[in-house]
Amino acid sequence: MSDSCCDGNARKAQAGDCCAPDGNVMLLSCSGGSNVGQLANQACVELTQEGFGKIFCLAGIGGKLSGFVRSAKDVPRMVVLDGCEVGCAKAIFKEAGTLLRGYVVLTDLGISKNKDFARKREDIDQVKAAAKQASQAQV
Amino acid sequence: MQIKILGPGCPKCHKTEEVVREAVAEAGVQAEVTKVTNTMEIAAAGVFGTPAVIIDGDVKVVGKVPSKEQVKSWLGK
């Protein structure tokens, strides 16, 4: 919750728009053990740093921790990035009984999966653009 | 029954506390209602935003003010 008004942004609090994540897009990635898993994670990190949304823990949903699962159910907008068609993030949502929204598979964007863990700038930018598009579709 | 209302002090958080306390009173259930304002404690609950309501360890709502009827249904009334 580091960049939310809940951490003490009094101006926002006084305006009455504090805390509820209405303006925040929940960003989730599989963060898996390949270049595309790590690209997904990097895209979520950068989108958080740029203020587009807020990265959230997919592992907490996978562990069926109450706060994480409920947050995923209640948030107005989310983006879920899976690195490849194996679909681990998608499977986690199914297991947790949570509706999957804003879903993007990086290999569907034409990015090849490999184990070199190289994260090219152009690939990160492509993933970020796809994430923004997936989020906009929920407005 | 233990009820925690998570929120650092914004209007929506105050409203949530009001709704929960009214629902508890109207339902006539025995419950300890606590307001949690400490951001570290809020973060530890794993919620994406606030307000949030936790009843006996189960997070019931995140980022929204619940209706009184919703709260009563969580109380089993």
Task: State the CATH architecture for A21-136.
Answer: 3-Layer(aba) Sandwich (3.40)
**Distance from the A14 Cα atom to the nearest Cα atom in chain B, whole angstroms:** 7
Q: Residue B36's beta-bridge partner residues? A: B6
Q: Which residue has the tokens 């970020």?
A: A128
CATH 3.40.30.10 fits B2-74, yes or no: yes
CA A111 to the chain's CA centroid = 18
The sheet with strand A25-29 has its strands ordered as A53-55, A25-29, A78-82, A103-105
Whether B40 is a known active-site residue: answer: no
Q: Is the ipTM of this complex over 0.85?
A: yes
Residues 1-60 of B with CB under 8 A from A: 7-13, 39, 42-43, 45-52, 54, 57-60
| Domain parsing of chain A, residue ranges | 21-136
- Give the model's pLDDT for residue A7: 38
The sheet with strand B58-62 has its strands ordered as B32-36, B2-6, B52-55, B58-62
Confidence tier at B77 by pLDDT (50, 70, 90): confident
3-state helix, strand, coil in chain A (%, to 5): 50, 10, 40
Q: Could you say which of B42, B57, B59 has the minimum Cβ distance to residue A6?
A: B42
Taking 70 as the pLDDT cut, the residues of chain A under it are 1-23
